[in-house]
Chains A and B, each alone.
Chain A
Amino acid sequence: MSEIAIQVEHLSKQFRIGANAFQKTFRETVSDMMLAPARRLRSAMRGQGSQAATKEFWALRDVSFDVKQGEVVGIIGHNGAGKSTLLKVLSRITEPTTGSALIRGRVGTLLEVGTGFHPDLTGRENMYLNGAILGMSRAEINRKFDEIVAFAEVEQFIDTMVKHYSSGMYLRLAFAVAAHLEPEILIVDEVLAVGDAQFQKKCLGKMGEVAQNGRTVLFVSHNMAAIRSLCQRVVWLNQGTVLKDGPSAAIVNEYLMQTVTSSSSRVDLREATRHYDYGKRFKINDLTFNHGEPILHGEVLNVSFNYEAYADVYGVSFGYGFSSLEGTRLMTVDSDLNAPRYLIKRGQHGQLTSTLDTLNLQPGIYLLDVGVRSGDGSALDYLPGCAQVEILPGPTTPASMSRLDYAGNVRLGGQWQWPETAQEDRD
């Protein structure tokens, strides 16, 4: 069992970003167009991009680690730390710039749920197509057909085109196919970031099953609870290099401590990583807590969202919530709870403000989840764990409160009726 399954040695990956991506004057563009083709053609024939007009950056830099057979390793790090690039290199989607990796065993990659699904094909047809894309043979799918369909809970709709599926059904079927892939090495990226809580739980259960069957798993997630429960070991990437590598409990704790953003109350979401088609039709650009003032326990919580619509959207409702650092939702504030939904026209942008009279969540550090739903229940924009916010003790917070671990996440006063035999003790 102690044979090495993945051996990564001094792996680096450089990306060239075309200078065109940055601002350029029209005159420069035109003169470039006149002069560049010959030069570009020449460098292209040599198998390189247009070097002269590009900027370089290293997504991975000298990354080395070994993964033993049967080990489940979590890869953590901030957005842009190189996690996805690492998985792409290891699953041979993109080539490293320098360094090497040795992989023993058949690799199954799951970077996205439903890769290659075609809306005009039926559920059944997509199962075979997606299976073939992920590397499963037709015989393998035939054998597992009933199991996959049962896991996805789409029995009645298996011969319906997937474009008529709800997004939940679509995700369940897509994950079900991928989950039944049985490679020796499984590489999984943030697939748990989509879908509802029940679905995520099911996925997590399946992942745990895979891990227990002695297969090697590389797993990227922002969900620290999932990382902690699934992985024995964690590799922490930071700016393309391995910052820490060790037992998951210790590293995850360290990561959580380090990532605390010092109660910054404005969260910029314009460039945040979004999954699926979130943010395409409607986008939350940023949000600000308490007009830039700190968030205080026991006080009013004010949140203002700046949004922008890229399409006509109907029945819109906003919501935000706080989760524990391990990803468990602790409270939710929704705009459509006993309140109307709204219609927002394409091209409109504006600011929406939400007020909560008393914020009862205990002082501490939480993950912020933000989302916008449309009338049909589908998410227009959804950013789970998009920031870490700190709730500070407020003027009404008892001095001892922040140290009361046993009180849970919300500690309330409530109304109490004491019997007359009890006497008020003023000392």
Chain B
Amino acid sequence: MQRASTTLQTTPITRIEPSKGWVSLQLRELWAYRELLFFLIWRDVKVRYKQTVLGAAWAIIQPVFSMIVFTLIFGRLAKLPSDGIAYEAFSITALVPWALFANALSQGSNSLVGNANLIKKVYFPRLTVPISTVLGGLVDFAIAFVVMFGMLLWFGITPSIRMLALPLFIMLVLITGLGVSLWLAALNVQFRDIRYVIPFMAQLWQYGSPVAYSSSLIPQEWRWLYGLNPMVGVIDGFRWSMLGTGQISWSSMLPSVGIALFLLFTGALYFRRIEKQFADMV
């Protein structure tokens, strides 16, 4: 879109001209705007906690209530196997990262439309909008994580050295969530239909991920196909590092990581390509 170069480190020169085809991601400029990124996250979190009566409690209520419902239906009634541990502990370790992903999916994809007034009035790298929304989910995640950790201790599951690998899996949820939101946020500006697809999509995606059931139910020869859903890698990783169950199945983890990175990269490129139309369309 625009090329900015610095001469003698004093006067930045900006060339404004129509862009053609695919454009660069401008990561350096994004870095220069990191303070804005911080303020957008801070605004979203602050406003959410100010506007809602229960505030931070929502971060806990959502996964905990899902856990109770899942435990009653899938654990007690359907008696789904849970890798030999309490179904409560089994499901909450999936529901907490899932909540982070679901937040990215719904908030992230509406982020551009929701910030239309900014986009029409000020220039800043547009990528900051979905990125801040997705990273903002980390605050809720941290709260839910503490609750999950307490529950696991209650169920007699003590942390092992494997927990050190958890940040990698948190990165994987963020990459997946951001990749999908970049695609959806850009598409949502052009086609407002997207907004109606998202709740439906989130629900289907959850069935396709080992939230209520264990991925050990999937036959070994189909694991690679199953792993094309990056949330499979995330949830398997969470269970592996928090519960200490099973082994990491590389046949599903590798495709998960690959697809997550692919989604992020193509999402960012597509977003940048469509970006120039945002101010005219939102």
Q: Is the CB of B123 within 8 A of A120?
A: no
Residues of A within 8 A of B19 (CB): 95
Residues of chain A with a CB closer than 8 A to B158's CB: none
Q: Which residues of B contact A97 (CB under 8 A)?
A: 18
Contact status A133-B36, CB under 8 Å = yes
Contact call B14/A121, Cβ cutoff below 8 A: no
- A103-B124 Cα distance, complex, nearest whole Å: 16
Question: Which of B13, B42, B187, B190 makes the CB contact (< 8 A) with A103?
Answer: B13
* A133 touching B122, Cβ below 8 Å: yes
A95 vs B275: C-alpha distance when bound (angstroms): 10
How extensive is the interface on chain A, given as a class? 35 or more
Interface size class of B (residues with CB under 8 A): 35 or more
Complex CA gap A315/B96 in Å reads 53
Q: Which of B42, B123, B124, B190 has the most CB of A within 10 A?
A: B123
Cα A131 to Cα B158 with chains together (Å): 46
CB distance from B196 to the nearest CB of A (A): 14
Given contacts A95-B276, A104-B11, A107-B14, contact A115 B122 (CB under 8 A): yes
B193 CB, min distance to chain A CBs, angstroms: 9
A105–B42 alpha-carbon span in the complex (Å): 29
Q: Which of A85-93, A192-200, A263-271, A273-281 contacts B (4 or more CB under 8 A)?
A: A85-93
B124→A101 contact, CB < 8 A: no
Residues of chain B with a CB closer than 8 A to A134's CB: 122
Q: In the complex, are the beta carbons of B35 and A105 less than 8 A apart?
A: no
A49 in contact (CB, < 8 A):
yes
Q: Are B279 and A93 in contact (CB under 8 A)?
A: yes
Please give, as numbers and ranges, the residues of chain A lying within 8 Å of B79 by CB-CB distance: none
Contact B2 A15 (CB under 8 A): no
Q: Mark B38-74, 1 if CB is under 8 A from A, else 0.
A: 1110110011001100000000000000000000000
CB distance from B29 to the nearest CB of A (A): 11
B274 within 8 Å of A (CB atoms):
yes
Within 8 A of B (CB), among A115-147: 115-116, 118, 120-121, 125, 128-129, 132-135, 137-138
Contact partner of B46 among A15, A98, A125, CB < 8 A? A125
In the complex, A137→B16 CA distance in Å? 24
Interface residues of chain B, those whose CB is within 8 Å of chain A, are: 1-2, 11-19, 21, 35-36, 38-40, 42-43, 46-47, 50-51, 117-124, 187, 190-191, 273-274, 276-277, 279-281
**Could you show 23 A-B contacts with beta carbons less than 8 Å apart?**
A47-B21, A47-B274, A47-B277, A49-B190, A88-B279, A89-B16, A92-B16, A95-B18, A100-B15, A101-B16, A102-B14, A104-B13, A105-B11, A106-B12, A111-B121, A115-B117, A116-B121, A118-B43, A120-B50, A129-B39, A132-B35, A133-B36, A133-B122
